[in-house]
Chains A and B, each alone.
Chain A
Amino acid sequence: MKRSREKRNLRVIEIVGIVLGLLWISPFYLMIVNAFKSKRDIFEGVLGLPQSLRLENFVEAFVDLDFLKSLFNSVMITGLSILILILFSSMAGYALARNKSKISSVIFFVFVGAMLIPFQSVMIPLISLFGMVDMLHGGGLIFMYLGFGCSLSIFLYHGAMTGIPRTLDEAAIIDGASRFQLFWYIIFPLLKPISVTVGILNTIWIWNDYLLPSLVLSESSATIPLKMFYFFGQYTRQWELALAGLTIAVIPVIIGYFFAQKQIIDGVSEGAVK
């Protein structure tokens, strides 16, 4: 008797969940179906499926977005930023965790404290300073991402170091390894789970960042969000093209999510709760 009530309750919860799930993905549904329509179809109704699949919208949006180039720019900027963030933050997290001196804890405190500073509070002098030394380009942007991303990354690596015993260091040093060898061959591989987390958290943010690239990059080196902004400005009265462009821009993210779903959700959970 009680069991069947419990079962019925679960079924109700499941139905509520599914309805909410459908509601949650409905914006993507609306984006995709209308991206296949003609202007006239959209005018006649936005909810239904398209009369015929108009692939021209996608071809035109793909060309206008200069998609392969924007994708390449996004991959390069994000990829290189993540690479140096993982390398330098893990080194620093290791050094700060192992060195127990006062100066080391002060430096760690400064890194954590820097997380309080919102981007908009340093943006104006940052752009002006980098402009003076001619660093407003992709390379400069990657260096900026190192500066903005290192605090949280170091914090996560620092936390993970507590799980790695010091005796490992001592044994390696006795065996004649240099600090760098010790770090690179013994510590860094042990930090791999946290490197995945650091990589994921920073990718989500850097891949989607619009404001900083809009201030740093020229149109020829635009990343996907930046290009999307220019593109959308041109097509405010042509929803079918704008939506096809948005669909194209969303696809790489969905593909990434499909393959790394578990790691992404676990990584975000780890980064948020700490």
Chain B
Amino acid sequence: MYNRSLWFWLFITPVLLALGIVVAFPFLYGFIFSFTDWNGLRVTEFTGFENYRALFQESEFINALIFTIQFAVVTVLLLNAIGLGLALIVTRKIKSNHLLRTIFFMPNLIGGLILGFIWQFIFVSVFGDLGEMFHIEGMKGWLSTTRTGFWGLVILTAWQMAGYIMIIYIAYLENIPKDLIEAAKIDGATSLQRFKNVTFPLVAPAFTVSMFLTLSMTFKIYDQNLSLTDGGPANSTQMLAMDIVRTAFSDNEMAYAQAKAVIFFLIVAVIALTQVYYNKKREVEM
């Protein structure tokens, strides 16, 4: 018996150590220190909920929270609409379907930092030029206002991640039995009817999966935010992740930043647990 479990422990020790040292311990350590005046090196006193009370009164944090929620909601809806649209195109019998899949997915492989820089050029120079050419005032000065910065981030993220969501929808679409579609065709259903009554109900589970996935992805965005708008103008397009990084590593308010990080964890965890709950419920119904 002893020998039987010895190999088991040997096999899991490396990852157990890594997870413990890199994730579990810092997580608990940070949680405790968020109730103190920790400055990264030492703690002089236990301050209770002081950090948490302060952060809900800080307008910059509240702004970041609201901006992140708005960004996440708009991007999630757009991403799922585009992702499903692209999937519907490339699962048809067209000659270019493989090439198109390759192209739509490509931005996912390149980091958000680099893509943000490329789009900075597009929004600033290309949009500026187009605005000049067609005399559209709205095209000039992108990223210099909160509103255009918001849409810039939405466009960048939708462009980058739509191919990934497309892949998820493709997996579900290709699982639909062909004879179901054929049967509907024989019964005289138009392609719109076929989509509404056959395809759509069968890809509905993909909606739950990718809605929550995109919601948690968009909530955690940092690189794109940094490279595209850098939080500007005047920190108005700064999202939660960036606010935490700045509070910790620019302002050196470690305990306070960690309190923000704990709130951030709670939000992301609630999103993920809701998804688990929905998936379980659906499995039961099926």
Asked if A147 meets B248 with Cβ closer than 8 Å, knowing A10-B93, A116-B269, the reply is no
- Determine whether the beta carbon of B90 is less than 8 Å from that of A17: yes
Residue ranges of A at the interface with B (Cβ–Cβ < 8 Å): 9-10, 13-14, 16-18, 20-21, 24-25, 27-28, 30-31, 34, 42, 45-47, 84, 88-89, 91-92, 94-96, 98-99, 101, 104, 107, 110-111, 114-126, 128-129, 143-144, 146-148, 150-151, 154, 179-180, 183, 204, 207-211, 215, 225, 228-229, 232, 239, 242-243, 246, 249-250, 253-254, 256-257, 261, 264-265, 268-269, 272-273
Q: Using Cβ atoms and an 8 Å threshold, which residues of chain A touch B222?
A: 120, 210-211
Asked if A120 meets B241 with Cβ closer than 8 Å, knowing A95-B8, A211-B223, the reply is yes
Distance from B267 Cβ to chain A, minimum over Cβ atoms (Å) = 9
Residues 205-232 of B, flagged 1 when their CB comes within 8 A of A and 0 if not, give 0000100010000001011001100000
User: Can you list 23 A-B pairs, Cβ within 8 angstroms, ordered by A?
Assistant: A13-B94, A14-B94, A14-B95, A31-B118, A42-B125, A46-B129, A88-B14, A116-B272, A118-B264, A121-B264, A124-B258, A148-B22, A208-B110, A208-B223, A210-B222, A210-B223, A211-B222, A239-B121, A246-B114, A256-B109, A257-B102, A264-B109, A272-B213
Q: Is B99 an interface residue (CB 8 A)?
A: yes
Contact count A vs B, C-beta below 8 Å: 256
Asked if A265 meets B19 with Cβ closer than 8 Å, knowing A124-B257, A208-B113, A225-B114, the reply is no
From B5, B92, B121, B223, name the one whose CB has the most chain A CB atoms within 10 angstroms.
B121
Residues 262-286 (chain B) with a chain A CB within 8 angstroms: 262, 264-265, 268-269, 272-273
- Determine whether the beta carbon of A114 is less than 8 Å from that of B258: no
Q: Using Cβ atoms and an 8 Å threshold, which residues of chain A touch B7?
A: 95, 179-180
- Determine whether the beta carbon of A21 is less than 8 Å from that of B104: yes
Q: Using Cβ atoms and an 8 Å threshold, which residues of chain B touch A268?
A: 105, 108, 164, 167
The distance in angstroms between the C-alpha atoms of A208 and B108, with both chains bound, is 10
Contact of A30 among B96, B121, B265 (CB under 8 A): B121
Interface of chain B: mostly helix, strand, loop or mixed: helix
- Determine whether the beta carbon of A92 is less than 8 Å from that of B108: no
- Determine whether the beta carbon of A125 is less than 8 Å from that of B113: no
Asked if A147 meets B33 with Cβ closer than 8 Å, knowing A27-B159, A95-B12, the reply is no
Contact of B113 among A92, A114, A215, A229 (CB under 8 A): A229
The distance in angstroms between the C-alpha atoms of A115 and B213, with both chains bound, is 12
- Determine whether the beta carbon of A124 is less than 8 Å from that of B248: yes
Q: Using Cβ atoms and an 8 Å threshold, which residues of chain B touch A129?
A: 25-26, 29
The distance in angstroms between the C-alpha atoms of A232 and B124, with both chains bound, is 15
Q: Using Cβ atoms and an 8 Å threshold, which residues of chain B touch A25?
A: 103, 106
- Determine whether the beta carbon of A146 is less than 8 Å from that of B121: no
Asked if A27 meets B269 with Cβ closer than 8 Å, knowing A21-B103, A125-B29, A211-B245, the reply is no
- Determine whether the beta carbon of A118 is less than 8 Å from that of B103: no
Contact of B111 among A14, A126, A210 (CB under 8 A): A210
Q: Using Cβ atoms and an 8 Å threshold, which residues of chain B touch A209?
A: 111
Contact of A120 among B90, B100, B261 (CB under 8 A): B261
Distance from A42 Cβ to chain B, minimum over Cβ atoms (Å) = 7
Q: Using Cβ atoms and an 8 Å threshold, which residues of chain A touch B273?
A: 116
- Determine whether the beta carbon of B265 is less than 8 Å from that of A210: no
- Determine whether the beta carbon of A208 is less than 8 Å from that of B117: no
Asked if A121 meets B119 with Cβ closer than 8 Å, knowing A114-B19, A150-B18, the reply is no
What 9 A-B pairs come out closest when comparing CB atoms? A147-B22, A208-B111, A95-B11, A125-B30, A125-B26, A121-B265, A147-B18, A179-B7, A146-B18
Q: Using Cβ atoms and an 8 Å threshold, which residues of chain A touch B105?
A: 264-265, 268
- Determine whether the beta carbon of B249 is less than 8 Å from that of A210: no
From A25, A47, A225, name the one whose CB has the most chain B CB atoms within 10 angstroms.
A225
The distance in angstroms between the C-alpha atoms of A24 and B155, with both chains bound, is 11
- Determine whether the beta carbon of B30 is less than 8 Å from that of A124: yes
- Determine whether the beta carbon of B23 is less than 8 Å from that of A122: yes
Asked if A111 meets B19 with Cβ closer than 8 Å, knowing A13-B89, A215-B249, A269-B168, the reply is yes
The distance in angstroms between the C-alpha atoms of A102 and B54, with both chains bound, is 43
Residues 1-36 (chain B) with a chain A CB within 8 angstroms: 5, 7-8, 11-12, 14-16, 18-19, 21-27, 29-30, 33
